Structure 1
Amino acid sequence: MSRTEKLAALLCTAGLDRLARLSWRGLLVFNYHRIGRPTELDDPDLFSATVEDLDTQVGLLADRFEIVAAGSADLRDGRPSRRIALTVDDGYADELLAAQVFAAHGVTGSFFVTTGYVDHPRHAWWDEIAWLSRGVPADGLAPCEWLPDGLDPSGHSPDDVRRLLNGAYKARAGERGEEFLDWLSGVTGRERPDVGEAKDRWMSWDDVRGLRRDGMEVGGHTVTHPILSTLDAEAQRVEVSQSMGRLREELDEDVDTFAYPVGASDSFDDATRDALRAAGVRRAYSFCGGLNGRRGTDPFDVRRVGVFGESATVIRATAALPAVFGAPRRYA
């Protein structure tokens, strides 16, 4: 049991969460990614919960708090309220299960869709890295432009190796993501996964329209899920505007919310904000943890707390004491 789990269990067992959750006011946003269990073609870090665990978590939160729609929630609500919103990123087909859970509990979730993966299904770069990283040779990888210090796998778990390569992509690939993946395929001796096998991994546009029919919110998440701050201003403009344009076209309605890929404080910049304004985005979500609304919230930096397989006990403790449990534990 992790230190976080132990502390959360102590808080809940002692009943202190009932008092603790009276200590905050504002909007707490939980962010989920994939629903289910990973296969060998998946990055396991992207899995937030099983259907059963998500159902338990949503029920627990709904019993204790007001659950509101993230996109329409008033960020400066003057009421002495504790509100929670639920969001889901990327647009994987398994995330439709989250919509079913939300609907069963009578709550609205917000889904941020990577439009390029809907239009042209393929394996996401992080899933490809998860697949290719299994081929890193025992003697490691030599220094190169992607890994200036090389990569020595000795003393590292396979998860560590995968995360190191994932970090290298985020830091250096920029608009050259395909080059990075081709390089990694070459040095590991593993072929990149077959694009044809990715067809059913993502929602279809019928699925996205179904989310709206079922009362869920839908927002943008770029076209190809790059780390926006690693792109020049024009490339950022294209990623944002084309993503929002496709959603508006397919849904035949205005779409004005957006979630930053990865969402760390350094994954978006002033050029990103300019691109959002130009595309008519009203509200954008980061992944930096914390509460919204206590001292006024930047509408282009609405904070979210990530869920990465934590137990219902940790979710309960996070909702009770977001100042303690709401810091980023991992970035997607």
Structure 2
Amino acid sequence: MIMPKKYWIPLVGLPVMILSFQNCSDFTVQQSIMEQSSMASGQSLLDSQELPYLTDPARGPLVRWYQQGQPSKVDKGYSGADKLSYVFAADRAMTGQLFAAYSGSAGAEETSVSVASGKITVNRIFSAGNSAQATVNVPALGQQMVIALRTGTKAEDFSLLVNGVVQTLTITKTGAPQEFSYVVKTLAAGTTGGKIYEYMVFNDRLNNAQLNSISRLIGTNNSISQVMFDPAIFADSSGSTSPTVDTKLAAAKVVIDSYCLSCHGAGSSKGDFSNMTAASMITRGFVKAGQPLSSSLYYRMKGTQGGGTKNMPDNGVSLSATQLQAVYDWISSIQ
């Protein structure tokens, strides 16, 4: 599709309109570049806030960090009992049990990750006949994979990432699974049919943003190119109560950076959104704390249902419901 672009040039004292043309596909390409840039910005923000804390055993929840062929970087006692997160890199072709946490015997209060017939299964066994489990596919590509799991007290308290991607879990319960007791667990890493190259264990319930950041760190350490940044991590507000990145701000920034910075970049007289914070947006009148429907940043994207007339972005693009919800949720969360 070809769209006309208007230019006015004075000729013999009269304005003459000359039409030039721009292929609409140019905008699609530019939009893709902007979205990739904003994703990189979100990833950088996440890592800069999370990794220094998560990799420091002196002030964070890290209790075990093993890399194959090297002395353990961290080897502290695990005392979480009711909360545990672990991330590990292993051969994609591995089968059998890859990782387990148990007390007493392997069948008592066990959390495990196993692989068989192209499926990854996370399992919680409390006693004979009482369990909860979920299964996802093994990645289709690569020689290695990175698996990250958060588990907590309740039977359904699973969160699983494979190569950084948040997995949709359908949890199947057998019998009447009970909550974990506060008994210290023994941790074991398996090596059936392949190798575990690196793993990190945390004495906490990390949220998906933290699990993704650690997954990419381990992926980089082991040259596993399939591990990626997944925007779905920002939908997870559960997990760690430790200091963490503002995931609602980060999710909103992905939208703002993609659709607004072409006009509202650094130094813009229209308003600089490039380093958006709650304080800066409130001070300049774009946001009212906790009131998205009264915030021009939101209603100018949403339209009349958002409290005012829609006129942004001014290139005619309408944001998706998910993108608008990210901005709405961030403004709502501001105190």
TM-score range, shorter chain: under 0.3
| Higher strand proportion (structure 1 or 2) | 2
| Higher helix proportion (structure 1 or 2) | 1
Q: TM-score, normalised by structure 1?
A: 0.24
Quick one: higher RCO (CA 8 Å, sep 6+), 1 or 2? 1
